[in-house]
């Protein structure tokens, strides 16, 4: 058992709530959660697995909120979840063998494109135009679930942004796009977490100390998103994507 101080606990509780609040809707909670775990003194070999434990609890909570509100296309999600799981498992195993740092410049460019596209499409995501009968959209969804699931297991930053963008491109409005993204993100999180557990790379103490306040933040954040709709999710989506761009640029430079 680690020697906990009041300061360490406060860091994890406050940062956990903020991370859960943001992550519950558009992802990006790792921007806050990972530095919080480092500040609390977690051993580096347990960092990613413990963060994944906390993130999985957060994803489970926010997904439940979206399911209860009917803001997830469950028929589509049931088809995409297995591919997200396969992709995440493959990505998590691959990152043990291949360094993921080479992806950073590519991720920066993709996040910049997403941000610019969303900024200029003012009314994008206000109304759903998704058609379940479109074979092209179904194939695009299957490919996105597999590739983004792999990316989540292999590297991770921006997964929520990429998933929401994929569902917006398929014609969903912002709230349902966020809900669909959360259930796929939950599937890939669970898969990655189980892989980290099997590899002995999870601290349950750190993970739960961060995860419990993340759950509370997720409850507040997801309910607010469902109530406020696109007017709330759109600016949060843009803000988190811009922060992710800045974080990746900073990491690349340093």
Q: At what angle do helices 47-68 and 174-198 cross, to 10 degrees?
A: 140
The pTM for the full model equals 0.87
Judged against a pLDDT cut of 60, whether residue 1 lies above it is answered with: no
- pLDDT tens track for 122-158: 777 788 888 877 888 889 899 999 999 998 888 877 8
The stretch 242-253 carries a mean pLDDT of 88
8-state DSSP, 59: H
CB 95 within 8 A of CB 236: no
User: What b/e sequence results for 198-219 when a residue is b if at least 16 CB atoms lie within 10 Å of its CB, and e otherwise?
Assistant: eeebbbeebbbbbbbbbbbbbb
* For the chain, domain boundaries: 6-253
The pLDDT of residue 22 is 93
Of 16-20, 42-46, 104-108, 244-248, which range is least confident?
A: 104-108
């Amino acid at each position: 058992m680690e020697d906990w101080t009041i300061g360490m606990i406060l860091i994890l509780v406050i940062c956990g709530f903020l991370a859960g609040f943001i992550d519950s809707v558009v992802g990006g909670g790792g921007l806050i959660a990972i530095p919080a775990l480092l500040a609390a003194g977690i051993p580096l070999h347990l960092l990613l697995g413990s963060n994944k434990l906390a993130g999985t609890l957060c994803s489970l909570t926010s997904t439940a909120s979206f399911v209860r509100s009917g803001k997830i296309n469950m028929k589509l999600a049931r088809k995409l979840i297995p591919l997200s799981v396969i992709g995440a498992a493959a990505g998590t195993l691959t990152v043990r063998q291949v360094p993921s740092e080479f992806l950073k410049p590519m991720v920066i460019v993709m996040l910049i494109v997403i941000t610019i596209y969303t900024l200029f499409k003012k009314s994008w995501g206000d109304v759903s135009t998704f058609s379940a009968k479109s074979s092209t959209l179904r194939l695009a969804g299957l490919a996105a679930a597999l590739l983004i699931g792999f990316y989540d297991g292999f590297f991770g930053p921006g997964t929520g942004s990429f998933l929401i963008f994929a569902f917006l491109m398929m014609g969903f409005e912002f709230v349902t796009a966020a809900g669909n993204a959360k259930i796929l993100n939950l599937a890939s999180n669970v898969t990655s977490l189980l892989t980290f557990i099997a590899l002995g790379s999870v601290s349950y103490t750190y993970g739960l100390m961060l995860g419990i306040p993340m759950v509370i933040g997720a409850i507040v954040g997801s309910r607010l998103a469902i109530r406020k709709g696109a007017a709330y999710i759109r600016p949060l989506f843009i803000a988190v994507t811009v922060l992710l761009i800045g974080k990746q640029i900073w990491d690349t430079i340093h």
